């Protein structure tokens, strides 16, 4: 097998392994609104 053929084969295998890997769920915290300055103390 030629050198470029091996490189393509290795890249294809790496892509297949990455596609089959288990995805981790990312927990996103809800965005809260920061208090705004109104001028005087309330």
Residue 41: predicted pLDDT: 66
Place of tokens 């981790």: 24
Residue 13: predicted pLDDT: 92
Rounded CA-CA distance 6/13 in Å is 10
Residue 21: predicted pLDDT: 73
Q: What is the largest CA-CA distance in the chain?
A: 78
**How much is the pTM?**
0.48
Q: Which two tokens stand for residue 35?
A: 């208090």
Q: Which two tokens stand for residue 15?
A: 């892509």
pLDDT in tens, 1-42: 789 999 999 999 998 888 887 677 777 888 888 877 777 765
Rounded CA-CA distance 2/16 in Å is 21
């Amino acid at each position: 097998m030629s050198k470029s053929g091996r490189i393509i084969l290795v890249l294809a295998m790496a892509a297949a392994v990455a596609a089959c890997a288990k995805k981790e769920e990312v927990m996103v915290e809800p965005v809260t609104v920061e208090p705004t300055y109104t001028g005087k103390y309330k």
